Structure 1
């Protein structure tokens, strides 16, 4: 595992190299290090403003990361005009470098600290849309149920876990916390998170998966009821069929 000293040294070396690169007209630190300094496990998050074609600059920087920093693997995450290239270095250090056209170099949220260059005016980040979170919730519940009917246990477990993520996101949004990637789920009160313990899948069999799906569906409806009672009632009436199927599988007293 990397040390904080090693991580900080690599971040400074990358920024120095960026300052020497004529194609890099701006550089910024993003993520936790731009806000509160991060912690022992924080990775490296940078954004470079690029003058000229992004692919050419990205190829040069990728070669550099492999040659001088012994990168193990990388992949890309596009976001609008910016491409974030995500590198894995030895000792489990992740380095995320966003390559932005020079005109688009600027913050999309509060986690931004310009190191050099001129950044564009801040842009509002795209907030999580409650309608989409709700839609993903019932979508995941329905697909989990379908996978159970098909005896695809692993896929069903994946959808149930994804449904739990949407419930956490809705709760974060309702309580005024950023909703993405469960980053603020630890701030949610116990009365919100405790019921979600029942949504954890403890075994890959039909009875357990249907029980967990029933608990997750109930938790989704309960969360919705706190923000939109009418919508919660409509979805409860429809998703109740999934819970009824779960009860028929779990309860041995009911003749299927």
Structure 2
């Protein structure tokens, strides 16, 4: 049974369009270079994950932060600064994640306009302002949303702010996304409903355990299933 007249807040990266797969491709190429005996591929990836987590807290997200993490990881694993040629290769990898092309998740192009006809839609995404705005514009979806919010981090305080900014009624508002850490848990903590749509390429640092008994978290397998519930 469909719910009527709801407010649906959508995550962007890996909910509306592909994103982390670009990072994974760049990281695979990076690991080809740094994962050499005695450093295993798993150990190199673990080191990069730790560095990315630390840099995200201090510097946020986006291509330049990703580049910083690649360089720091290389220098940590190799025990020397990256030379000019290596710096250029890492810069090219970082640039590869900011392609102007946006690949929508299957079902988004058909489902989102149908939802917009019955509900109020908002977009909430985190990251570098210019990079995220470019993706929103390139997606062709911006006109479907009542408002678009690009924030540095999607934590409890940002959700509290959004509730006040948009005068939201939590009982009829849903946060829809693929990230347990950034979309589901903080939304539930401030009293919003949530829809979890897993993505096979969700960033490792966005994973977290969800309460299987939480009846206010709707779990779907595809984006198109939203039309069955909203």
TM-score band, normalised by the shorter chain?
A: under 0.3
Q: Which has the higher contact order (CA 8 A, sep 6+)?
A: 2
TM-score, normalisation: structure 1 = 0.25
Taking structure 2 as the reference length, the TM-score comes to 0.27
More strand by share: 1
